[in-house]
Amino acid sequence: MNRSARNLLFLLFSLVPILAASDEQQKAHKLLNKVTAMAIDPAGRRAVSLAMSQELSVDRKELAQRRRALNMSYGDLFIAYELVKSGTKIDDIAAKLKIGKTVWLAADEQHADWKQVANDARKLSSRVDSDLLRYFAKQKSEVERDRVDGYDPMIDSVKADGDVSREDIEDAQDRYTFLHDHAGAVPGSTLDVSTERAARQVRRDPITNAGPSPH
């Protein structure tokens, strides 16, 4: 094998981990965009807040406070806490945001383990489904959990929550509807009136509009 061929082979092998990391980053981004989209109304936000608190072992009030202080969607906030887990200080992340960097760029600069992040994001997404389903099935006990946690989904919102594509919102609507209807067979699964009205402002009525979203 001549030198040129060896150099080309070396280059190809060196690109493999870079491409693999990029693929895992895209997976994480897609999963966390879906989590962000699920948090656009009070019922979904309850589930996302609880799921993230459980996954990260962080108090829900702290998560809400961090979101307000940094104007971060739940998806981006998850990345921030993944960086904190690996040793980055939250103040350092905040400093990067102030000069216009995204948390994703900050994660790249910190050489984040994107495979691990994607795996953790997948676990988070699964928890969101479980917690939303439990809320629909056992609403009273879940509202009591909110009270004990000092969490109010009606005020847990930031401008960055709107940074989500229409496609992700439509996917979240279908996911929301499926879970709502699946929990419908369980006694006591009906949403309280105030939450139902708030949810309908941003989602299709999960009872009368169970079909797929128009594209």
**From CA 111, how far away is CA 108, in angstroms rounded?**
5
Please state the domain count of the chain: 1
In a domain, 207, yes or no: no
Contact 49, 59 (CB under 8 A): no
In a domain, 211, yes or no: no
Question: How many other C-beta atoms are found inside a 10 Å radius of the C-beta of residue 138?
Answer: 17
Tokens found for residue 200: 């309908």
Instruction: Output b/e per residue, 93-116; b: 16+ Cβ within 10 A.
Output: bbebbeeeeebbebbeebebebee
pLDDT of residue 1: 59
In a domain, 208, yes or no: no
Give the confidence band of 181 by pLDDT, cuts at 50, 70, 90.
confident
In a domain, 143, yes or no: yes
**From CA 56, how far away is CA 4, in angstroms rounded?**
49
In a domain, 139, yes or no: yes
Give the confidence band of 171 by pLDDT, cuts at 50, 70, 90.
very high
Tokens found for residue 18: 């870079």
pTM summary value: 0.76
Q: What is the mean pLDDT of residues 74-96?
A: 94
Q: Per 3-state DSSP, what percentage of the chain is helix, strand, and coil (rounded to 5)? A: 75, 0, 25
Range of the domain at 153: 3-202
In a domain, 88, yes or no: yes
